[in-house]
Amino acid sequence: MSQYVARDITAAPLKLVVDGEYQLGCFNTPVQQANLLDVKSTGAFPVPRALKFIQLREWQAFQIKNEDYFVMIAIYNAKKISLVQFIVYNLKTKEKVKYEKKCMSWNLSVPDTLYNSSASYTSDDFNIKVEHDLNTHKLDIDVRIEGFEGLPFVEAKFSAVHDTVRYQPMVVCNPFSAEAVMYSHKCLMPVQGSLTLGAQVISFPLSESQLIIDDHKGYYPYVTTYDWVTGLGTTPDHKLIGFNLTNNQVIEQEKYNENCLWLDGQLYPLPPITISRPNGHTDTWHITDSHDMVQLEFTPVTHTSVRVNYFVICSEYEGPYGYYSGYIRKSFGGEKVLIENMFGMGEDFYLRA
């Protein structure tokens, strides 16, 4: 087991691109503008802004959980592939209801700031709007889905406490190469709201409900691969706890990664990880690192598998929900934080586009 020195975590710059250059790093405060379109070039030669816009994949995704339900919401715009998603999973009955709609990229809105902005998709049968303003800790989600593919009517309203002083985010501008980066703002916070699903009305009380945001943009490689796992909940003494762990194509991962533990609003950076699945995606996943800081097992209880092959575009997605057990250390050789039957999700993703 090798010694681990935690990567530098600093305050974020105001913008991710200054004078045409990326401001690389890992941060514990939000950026005011994720202006990746302002980079000089995403390749060896100057690239027009319109082409950079097409190259830039961007999304906002939210995992929301109370004692009985897990909700996944996504507004995903990869330009060549764009979709919106709303998934409800009942932890007790193991029933899952999935709403997913592929759409044109110009019908989606994903902003480049979390200050006084909104992300949205609007249509006759599927509507999502997310309003942000970090100045006032605002993160409000409104969803209405009606007459969609014979599925139950949905109306959801959530309001989260996006206070990045009380609840530290994991913000990164990490390189795939000298010309291409990914940005992500992830944060665990309390949330409250209600979800109407058909005839059911499901409450999400502030004292027992959590939300993780992923505000995300990136000039991803033509062939993109990554493993990602996340979990969220509360400790026995009612403190917020969650984690984010990714193994992707970012270079120099000892220096640049988005791996972290959140505990009671504090951020603890973690080293690079690997994920193994010796018996396949529907059996146990093993998540480990080289420094004995992350030792987790993930047991899937429900699974989503998606295959898309349009010749020039190919996608393979494995996305189970399930339970995590094991431990994560706050620091090298330090205190173990036990993870016991924490609910969350994982992804094994491949995209050629």
* Within-domain flag for 12: no
- Give the residue ranges of the chain where pLDDT is below 50: none
| In-domain check, residue 2 | no
Q: What phi, psi does 164 have (nearest 5°)?
A: -80, 0
Residue burial 257-286, b: 16+ Cβ < 10 Å; e: rest: bbbbbbbebebbbbbbbebebeeebbeebe
287 sits in which H/E element: strand 285-288
60 assigned to some structural domain: yes
Q: How many CB atoms lie within 10 A of CB 137?
A: 17
Dihedral, CA atoms, 72, 259, 223, 301, nearest 10 degrees? -40
What are the residues facing 185 on neighbouring strands?
171, 215
Residue 115: strand, helix, or coil: coil
Residue partners of 39: CB distance under 8 A and separation at least 6: 17, 20, 21, 22, 52, 179
Residue 10 lies in a domain: no
- Whether residue 22 lies inside any domain: the answer is yes
Assigned domain for 304 exists: yes
Contact between 188 and 268 under an 8 Å Cβ cutoff? The reply is no
Query: Count of CB atoms within 10 A of residue 20's CB?
Result: 10
Confidence at residue 1, expressed as pLDDT on a 0 to 100 scale: 60
Domain count, the chain: 1
Per the CB < 8 A criterion, the answer to whether 210 and 62 are in contact is no
Residue 11 lies in a domain: no
Residue 198, domain extent? 17-352
Sequence-distant (≥ 6) Cβ neighbours of residue 311 within 8 angstroms: none
Cα torsion 53, 218, 190, 227: sign: positive
Q: Token pair for residue 168?
A: 């530290």
Give the span between the Cα atoms of 332 and 263, in whole angstroms: 16
Residue type, 348: D
At 291, list the tokens: 């420094």
Is residue 9 included in any domain, yes or no? no
- What is the rounded distance in angstroms from the CA atom of residue 141 to the CA atom of residue 132? 9
